Structure 1
Amino acid sequence: MDMRTQTSPHRLGDDSRTLPIADGPELRAALEAANLQTLLMVYVHLTHDESMLETFKVHIHPPYTNPDYQIPQDCIEDLREKLLYVLTTPGAARPGDPPLDLMKKMMSVGVGEPVEDEFIPMVMEQAGFQRTAPRKEKPGRTPPPPGFKVLVIGAGLTGLLASIELERAGYDHVVIEKNEEVGGTWWKNRYPGVGVDTPSHFYSYSFEISPEWNHYHPHGADMREYFRSVADKYDLRRNIRFQTKVHSLEYDEKDAVWNVTVEDLKSGKRDVIRANAVFNAFGTADRWSLPDIKGIDSYKGIITHSAGYDETIDLKGKRVAVIGTGASSAQIVATIASEVSELAVFMRTKHWMINNPEVTKEVPEAVKWALRHIPHYKEWFRFRVFWFAADGLYPNVVKDPSYPEDGIAVSALNEGMRQYALSHMRHKLAGRPDLMEKLTPDFPIFSKRIVMDAGWYDALVMPHVTLEDSPITEITPTGIRTANGREYEVDVIICATGFRHGKLVKDLKITGREGHDLAVDWADEEERAYMGTTIPGYPNYFMSVGPNAGPNHAGGLNIVSEAQVHYMIECLDHMLASGARTIEPTQEAFVRHNRRIDDRMKHMIWTHPKSKSYYQNSKGRPVGPWPFRLVDMWNEMRGPVREDFRVE
């Protein structure tokens, strides 16, 4: 079946959760299945009853400190009984949200560790408790003048968000999208088992929390439908030019506008759009090509890349080769192993594999019911998922100076995570010392992207599956030849060989003021920006997840996107309020920011001598990761530091 025709719409912005709720089997099943800590938060939110927090706080611990601890059953039953009464009895719930001090106390008790004050504003937004009013309704604000236009490149996670927020701020805008539908990489990627490492109930917009996720970690189809539902709700397609490609951006100093050359991919016709500001919202995970392997053009069978996978390929009973052992490969291999006759996996590099039981787990219908109907459940559930998928992971990537510079771990916590991963590997590969030897990495865990085990190890121990670590020397007309002299005859080759992350703006030609050319300014792989968003010499040009803005210690691309879109609009608002036409960072601010990045990076795992991944450029400089916490980025991007910008 063509996945493009499947629909499973997400219920967005449906605030039909009213009290009282009729007592019945669905409500009782939801209370039995729902997360207990989240139910506690709901009860206190509805009653403001702090005594229940005192009862539970000695029993709630972070999941990684005491995973086997069981909350006493009498406490559990008491909570469910009291919450059932509040939900079903008219007038039992107190009106209004709890005061902020109580909310802060609830957060700390709910996750079993302190939630410090610096996190509260970000948490209130990211959990969906607060959202600022549309900026265009702000009294005294200088509105965008008639004819002022913003051009957004890409209609994926960040581009759709930009469209929503620009509309709320009153900015006329157009979105250029090369695909035929919204979703970006999640529209294009359709390989077997495609999914997301970040938990479903976190990997979404803070203001559009969907209760309809089918899995605790979303599959590709779930992501496609989420973004399509967002586009439907906000009527975003009216501002999108689909199947259109941006070729170049050229700044016109006289008129203070960008001349953006675009091509209609259906007709081949090119035209120029004049825009006062540009937001480059495309990511790096859409630039792929088949690997440069001798003889690849001679292969007579089916060859495909994971990022351009053809869903019509029938793998049943076929002899299949998968090149690569990263995240995409792990998902593909786990998914197809049981249906192919032979499977050869060609390993180029090793990866740390983490056991997360929820990565393949379906969300029970009773939990979906709770998310849909129990007031505040979805917000508190998102808070809990967010807390443990974000900055709680940051200590894993910070070097302890007492550890050897070239050791196998960078701290005691990092070593503990390494042992956790090794324990899982030993359990899954018991009796296969050959696989243990091939798969055990010699670099610190988290120094490059970790991979979730969604059946990868189980697939590799199957008798018809071979893991080959000898390098590929040639692709022949009938298969693959390796350096050890072995030849594999296969019917299908799947290249799970990743993306070309090296150039953050792809082959897009960008010419700024006074002769600035981004290809020259970023020559020799010196890709740098101010706050990963703006660059001196390129007025009114903004980018998402630019140099050193990647949330590589945690799941949090959606947080970065929301922060950067907010920052772009704050910058434009500041510019217009100043009566100016352009805004860009000063060279001094740019240099200072990047010196700060480099100084901090010395203390991070990504400068470990054994750390080699797409996080770094070919010289070894980490160009991808943000070396601070997500909360630091969020707080720093509330608005521009005025003295850091040239406003004219």
Structure 2
Amino acid sequence: MTAGIAYTPRIAIIGAGFSGIAAAVALKKKGIEDFVILERSAGLGGTWRHNTYPGAEVDLESHIYSFSFERYDWTRTHAGWHELLAYLHYVAHKWDLVPHMRFNEEVRQVSWSDERQDYTVATSSDTDHGRFTAVLSAVGFLNTPAKPPFLRDDHEFPGPICHTSEWRDDLDMTGKSVGVLGTGSSAVQVVTEAEKVASKVTVFQIEPNWMLPKQARDFSPVERRLNRWAPVYAYRRFRLYAAYDVRQHQARHARLDKGLNAERRRAALAFLHREMADRPDLLDVLTPEFPMEGRRTVISDTYYRALKSPKVTLVPHAVKGLSARGAIDANGEEHDLDMIVLATGFQAHQYLSTYRVTGENGVDLHERWADGAEAFLGMMVPGFPNFFIMFGPNTNVVPLVAFYEAQAAFAAALIARAARTGKKRIDVRRSAFTVYNDWAQNRLAKTVWATTESYFRAGSDRTGKVISQWPASPTTYLLATRFLRRLATTLS
């Protein structure tokens, strides 16, 4: 037992992706070494282990989509999945996290014991992992693929059908007639790569999305040399952070009463008309009817150009079924296809959808969230002591990694303080939980997110509350995790 600590806490971290690694490092910084990282996959990486489809890369700049405590020699302004996965391996090995990881351990149940005041975690292997002082959930909310209803029925389509988050190494689009369902962030990346190698690409679009240029490129050799210098790296990161912080102040980008939203809409329309100037026939079907930022804005330099290829056909309809030859769209037209890529997103409103959590008196967290997920600062729910959620409700914002670090530091500091003072139980005050969520929803009600049907909201009901988005600047959140930590929680 470490000097000055009343007991040694034992922690379970669920997930070995970005947020799970952030949590583990934060515990280590607090001198907590007794933790286990339970990962359902065969290796670490989370999103960047699963999303390996052609063209997969991050929408954020590499320097801001990385940990503040670990620099890296990035080759591109926006890293691809190979490089991001290599970065996470680098960080995990540098901080000696791999020995803590248990792979192929899919968590199924997290259960609080009122009698023992601790948790047990049941996994797919039925291994007895022992008891845990606290649990940090680092599974995010984009982890359960959303698949079209027609896949539940029997069909005669003989070719491969694959969701982008379940891409297989044996899939090859070369020379194939490829159907892509969806026009979101992953879809535009797949379409760009498919256009290069496929014989034909058919894009099925239910609705168009707002799009802005990404301005992605390789770093020059000179830039890479400069980026290896710590002050330059820090400057790049700070400049990016500051820009996002200003943009998201009071959620200005997502409010129609703020000029920034109109400014971004004009920029998106100008980009569309500039790129499609020689294809006026596509302008109407590519212009969204919902407000700018109402859904996740797509960032791409290449999608519009790919659509203009003679090999690419844009079908402004959903797919309603499959045949032996391909897909049947909502108008009943059949499209010949060799393979189908589902870029259909995730069941994002179902937080912690891959396992159950029971708290005090056996209360089920998902039942508690029947009207939509909510948590104090996205991390803590009354009645579920010592349970912390990384990237939880209302914490979806740019830059994500800064939030992961703040959440990890919040949880690690409380766990360490409890261990120092001999307290076993960490709770969020119900009053703080209520006031915080009322404040968040009042802010969010002023945004376009509240009036646009999307995965940002609880279910498809237009009266559903916004459950994923953060309604203020990143700095507001980072400060809240520091200054409200003691005020909003109790140790007993």
Could you report, residue by residue, the CA deviation over 1:599-640 in whole angstroms, capped at 9, with x for unpaired residues? 212222312x3x221111123311001111110110011154
User: Which position in structure 2 is the counterpart of 1:64?
Assistant: none
How many Å apart are 1:519 and its aligned residue? 2.2
Greater RCO structure (CA 8 Å; 6+ sep) = 2
How many Å apart are 1:343 and its aligned residue? 0.8
2-structure distance, mates of 1:573, 1:149 = 11
Alignment CA distance shift 1:508-1:368 (3 Å): same
Query: Aligned letter for 2:411?
Result: M
Q: Superposed, which structure 2 residues align to 1:517-596 within 5 Å?
A: 517-523=364-370, 525-551=371-397, 555-596=398-439
Q: Do residues 345 (structure 1) and 203 (structure 2) align?
A: yes
User: Which position in structure 1 is the counterpart of 2:119?
Assistant: 258
2-structure distance, mates of 1:643, 1:458 = 53
Could you report, residue by residue, the CA deviation over 1:270-307 in whole angstroms, capped at 9, with x for unpaired residues? 43431010000111222215321265643111211111
Q: Do residues 191 (structure 1) and 53 (structure 2) align?
A: yes
2-structure distance, mates of 1:344, 1:603 = 38
Query: Aligned letter for 1:379?
Result: A
User: Does structure 1 retain, via aligned residues, the 8 Å contact 2:159–2:338?
Assistant: yes
User: Which position in structure 2 is the counterpart of 1:645?
Assistant: 489
User: Which position in structure 1 is the counterpart of 2:453?
Assistant: 612
User: Does structure 2 retain, via aligned residues, the 8 Å contact 1:278–1:541?
Assistant: yes
Could you report, residue by residue, the CA deviation over 1:489-511 in whole angstroms, capped at 9, with x for unpaired residues? 11011111111112111141211
Query: Aligned letter for 1:532?
Result: G
1-structure distance, mates of 2:454, 2:239 = 30
User: Which position in structure 1 is the counterpart of 2:319?
Assistant: 472
Alignment CA distance shift 1:142-1:451 (3 Å): farther
User: Does structure 2 retain, via aligned residues, the 8 Å contact 1:567–1:639?
Assistant: no
Q: Do residues 354 (structure 1) and 212 (structure 2) align?
A: yes
Q: Superposed, which structure 2 residues align to 1:259-338 within 5 Å?
A: 259-264=120-125, 269-288=126-145, 290-293=147-150, 297-338=155-196
2-structure distance, mates of 1:217, 1:390 = 19
1-structure distance, mates of 2:127, 2:333 = 50
1:202 to 64, 84, 90: 64
Unaligned runs of 5+ in 1: 1-135, 401-408
User: Which position in structure 2 is the counterpart of 1:602?
Assistant: 445
2-structure distance, mates of 1:362, 1:399 = 31
Q: Do residues 240 (structure 1) and 91 (structure 2) align?
A: no
2-structure distance, mates of 1:237, 1:285 = 24
User: Does structure 1 retain, via aligned residues, the 8 Å contact 2:6–2:420?
Assistant: no
User: Does structure 2 retain, via aligned residues, the 8 Å contact 1:395–1:413?
Assistant: no
Q: Superposed, which structure 2 residues align to 1:5-84 within 5 Å?
A: none
Query: Aligned letter for 1:257?
Result: D
How many Å apart are 1:389 and its aligned residue? 3.4
How many Å apart are 1:255 and its aligned residue? 1.4
Q: Superposed, which structure 2 residues align to 1:57-456 within 5 Å?
A: 142-143=4-5, 145-146=7-8, 148-171=9-32, 172-210=34-72, 212-264=73-125, 269-288=126-145, 290-293=147-150, 297-357=155-215, 359=216, 361-372=217-228, 374=229, 376-394=231-249, 397=252, 409-456=256-303
1-structure distance, mates of 2:46, 2:253 = 32
How many Å apart are 1:643 and its aligned residue? 4.6
SS at match of 2:353: coil
How many Å apart are 1:349 and its aligned residue? 2.4
User: Which position in structure 2 is the counterpart of 1:482?
Assistant: 329
How many Å apart are 1:336 and its aligned residue? 1.5
Paired residues, what number?
Answer: 487
Could you report, residue by residue, the CA deviation over 1:149-176 in whole angstroms, capped at 9, with x for unpaired residues? 0110001001111111212212211110
Query: Aligned letter for 1:331?
Result: Q
User: Does structure 1 retain, via aligned residues, the 8 Å contact 2:264–2:292?
Assistant: yes
Query: Aligned letter for 2:491?
Result: V
Alignment CA distance shift 1:144-1:490 (3 Å): farther
How many Å apart are 1:250 and its aligned residue? 1.1
2-structure distance, mates of 1:230, 1:399 = 34
Question: Which structure's CA Rg is the greater one?
Answer: 1
Alignment CA distance shift 1:398-1:304 (3 Å): closer
How many Å apart are 1:556 and its aligned residue? 0.9
| Deviant stretches of 4+, over 6 Å | none
How many Å apart are 1:261 and its aligned residue? 0.9
User: Does structure 2 retain, via aligned residues, the 8 Å contact 1:391–1:630?
Assistant: no
TM-score normalised to structure 2 length: 0.94
Q: Superposed, which structure 2 residues align to 1:615-626 within 5 Å?
A: 615-618=456-459, 619=461, 620-626=464-470
SS at match of 1:313: coil
Alignment CA distance shift 1:504-1:322 (3 Å): same
Q: Do residues 462 (structure 1) and 309 (structure 2) align?
A: yes
Amino-acid identity (%)? 29
SS at match of 1:187: helix
